[in-house]
């Protein structure tokens, strides 16, 4: 009995240390929801552009000049991206707070603040960089840049949350680099990175951390 009691105490101490050092309330459902929202946003942009290949064909982009892309089209795309971001963040907050309440955990802790701080630096830097690209109308690099900076943000904040986030960050960075080499397919890579990868990783996290825990 003494041995079992000591083992239980050690497990409780380890669980307390994990809760204090990592943000473990992140829900896999938030990743799935964010991925679905991103795919809807990507489809809207694609339909809005009427499948116009000049926005996806980089050779034609350079051949016709740097200024054929209207600011109106760019603003529609930016507004769509902003709406996708807000909805994705909203779903993340909803599912994460719901998970935290079920486990009786406090969501706003020092670890949460550190996570947000480490994620915000690459995100804000990437946002400013993309605005600079827009100013100079280097449109074809905006989608790859968002993937790269988002991946850096996930990688930077992964030490404060679940290990799967690190691999998601690496995947986003690699996808962004490949997109730089194939700029005519920027929107497709954007949908893959923010849509498909989020759904895949969200599903893995849900099955690993939420479904398995519910069965215990």
CB atoms within 10 A of CB 73: 16
User: Is 14 inside any structural domain?
Assistant: no
| pLDDT of res. 191 | 93
Q: How far apart are the C-alpha atoms of 204 and 210, rounded to whole Å?
A: 10
Mean pLDDT, residues 9-16: 45
Torsions phi, psi for 45 (to 5 deg) = -65, -40
Q: Which long-range contacts (CB under 8 A, 24 or more apart) does 110-118 make?
A: 111/20, 111/21, 111/22, 111/23, 111/160, 112/23, 114/160, 115/23, 115/157, 115/160, 115/161, 116/157, 118/153, 118/156, 118/157, 118/159, 118/160
The domain tally of the chain equals 1
Spell out the residues 6+ positions from residue 58 whose beta carbon is closer than 8 angstroms to its own.
140, 183, 184
Predicted local confidence at residue 185, as pLDDT:
82
15 found inside a domain: no
The reported pLDDT for the residue numbered 19 is: 47
CB 150 within 8 A of CB 172: yes
For residue 164, what are the domain limits? 28-215
Examine the pLDDT at 111 and tell me if it is beyond 90. Answer: no
Q: What is the pLDDT of residue 186?
A: 83
Q: Of the ranges 8-22, 65-79, 80-94, which one carries the lowest mean pLDDT score?
A: 8-22
* 16 in any annotated domain: no
In a domain, 77, yes or no: yes
Is the confidence at residue 147, as pLDDT, over 80?
yes
The DSSP code for 139 is G
More confident residue, 37 or 4: 37
Domain annotation covers residue 126: yes
pLDDT (0 to 100) of residue 148: 96
pLDDT band at 59 (very low <50, low <70, confident <90, very high): low
Domain membership of residue 127 (yes or no) is: yes
Query: In this predicted model, what pLDDT tens digit does every residue of 158-214 receive, in sequence order?
Result: 888 888 899 999 999 999 999 998 877 888 899 999 999 999 999 998 888 777 555
Higher pLDDT, 123 or 75: 123
* Domain membership flag for residue 198: yes
DSSP notation for 46-70 = HHHTTT-GGGT-HHHHHHS-TT-S-
């Amino acid at each position: 009995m003494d041995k079992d009691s000591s083992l239980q105490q050690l497990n409780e101490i380890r669980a307390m240390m994990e809760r204090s050092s990592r943000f473990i309330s992140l829900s896999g459902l938030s990743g799935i929801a964010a991925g679905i929202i991103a795919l809807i946003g990507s489809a809207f942009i694609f339909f809005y552009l009427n499948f116009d290949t000049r926005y996806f064909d980089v050779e034609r982009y350079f051949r016709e000049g740097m200024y054929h892309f209207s600011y109106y089209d760019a603003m529609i795309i930016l507004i769509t991206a902003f709406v996708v971001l807000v909805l994705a963040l909203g779903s993340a907050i909803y599912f994460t707070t719901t998970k935290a309440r079920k486990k009786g955990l406090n969501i706003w802790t020092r670890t949460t603040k550190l996570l947000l701080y480490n994620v915000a630096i690459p995100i804000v830097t990437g946002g400013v960089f993309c605005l600079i690209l827009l100013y100079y109308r280097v449109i074809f690099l905006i989608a790859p840049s968002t993937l790269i900076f988002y991946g850096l943000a996930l990688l930077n904040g992964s030490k404060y949350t679940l290990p799967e986030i690190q691999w998601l960050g690496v995947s986003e960075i690699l996808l962004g680099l490949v997109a730089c080499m194939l700029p005519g397919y920027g929107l497709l890579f954007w949908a893959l990175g923010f849509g498909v990868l989020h759904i895949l990783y969200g599903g893995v996290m849900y099955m690993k951390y939420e479904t398995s825990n519910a069965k215990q």
